[in-house]
Amino acid sequence: MSGSLRICNADDAPRKHDHVDIVLDSGKCVRFNDPRRFGVFLWWEPPAEQHELLRYLGPEPLSGRFSGDYLWRRSRGRRGAVKNFIMDGKIVVGVGNIYASEALYMAGIHPARAAGRISAARYEALAAAIRDVLSRAIRRGGTTLRDYVNSNGNPGYFARELLVYEREGKPCFQCQAPVRRKVIGQRSSYYCPRCQR
Ligand SMILES: [Zn+2]
């Protein structure tokens, strides 16, 4: 949520909202900037994945533990919206609001559809779409809409490739129907009413 890490020299003067420096042997520094102070740094000796904040997290989307079959199995019996399901860090990490909207559009799945009522084949398409959208966004340095910066302190250029996100009222790239916005789980979701079922 708007915090960022950037790589700089340890003796660079801090900017507003810079809170933590991790100084490396090379003299470089990983500097943490956090305007809204949602971030936390903890000193923890045992393996990191055993910490309370991490141990219940789902797999990384770009790891081998993540698949359509995994999503399908975890979704059985769930009546909540599929968009909330894929944004739940206990299911899978790293799928934020922008990338959830984009992946559901690419997979042709309506964001409000009940997670437990989506077929295994459609979850295969969704898992592939999540991996695809994240991989492309990483190559573009992320998505800057307002204040996001990547680890070089620069904006990301994926926003110009977004298919539905923040395109309310604009024509769907596949069918020309106006893209709609709907609030699901308190977050704005963008989708095509014709292409997504
Ligand atoms: Zn469409």
The CATH number given to whatever domain includes residue 84 is 1.10.8.50
- Residue 49, in any domain of the structure: no
Whether residues 34 and 63 fall in one domain: no
How many angstroms does the Cα of residue 185 sit away from the middle of ligand 1?
Answer: 23
Per-residue pLDDT of the chain (197 residues; tens, 9 = 90+): 678 888 999 999 999 999 999 999 998 999 999 988 889 899 899 898 899 989 999 999 999 999 999 999 999 999 999 999 999 999 999 999 999 999 999 999 999 999 999 999 999 999 999 999 999 999 988 887 777 777 777 788 888 889 999 999 999 999 999 999 999 999 999 999 999 99
Find the 67 Cα to ligand 1 centroid distance in Å.
26
Q: With respect to residue 50, please indicate whether it lies within any of the assigned structural domains.
A: no
Asked whether residue 102 falls in the same domain as residue 154, the answer is: yes
Q: Do the domain assignments include residue 142? A: yes
CA of 173 to the centre of ligand 1 (A): 7
CA of 175 to the centre of ligand 1 (A): 4
Residues with CB under 5 Å of ion ligand 1 are 172, 174-175, 177, 192, 194-195
Same domain, 90 and 125: yes
Q: Are residues 81 and 173 in the same domain?
A: yes
**Ligand 1 midpoint to CA 111 (Å):** 14
3-state SS, the chain, equals CCCEEEEEECCCCCCCCEEEEEECCCCEEEEEECCCCCCCCCCCCCCHHHCCCCCCCCCCCCCCCCCHHHHHHHHCCCCCEHHHHHHCCCCCCCCCHHHHHHHHHHHCCCCCCEHHHCCHHHHHHHHHHHHHHHHHHHHCCCECCCCCCCCCCCCCEHHHHCCCCCCCCCECCCCCCECEEEEECCEEEEECCCCCC
- 163 with 187, same domain: the answer is yes
Based on the fold, state whether residues 11 and 106 are members of the same structural domain.
no
Number of domains in the chain: 2
CA 191–ligand 1 middle distance (angstroms): 8
Domain with 63, as residue range(s), is: 57-191
How many angstroms is it from 128 CA to the middle of ligand 1?
A: 19
Distance 197 CA to ligand 1 centre (A): 10
Whether residues 75 and 164 share a domain: the answer is yes
- For residue 125, tell me if it sits in a domain: yes
Q: Are residues 171 and 139 in the same domain?
A: yes
In a domain, 46, yes or no: no
Same domain, 72 and 160: yes
Judgement on whether residues 66 and 159 belong to the same structural domain of the protein: yes
- The predicted pLDDT at position 58 comes to 96
**How confident is the model at residue 185, as a pLDDT?**
93
Please tell me the predicted confidence (pLDDT) of residue 1: 62
162 Cα: distance to centroid of ligand 1 (angstroms): 14
Same domain, 33 and 61: no
Residues 31 and 126 in one domain: no
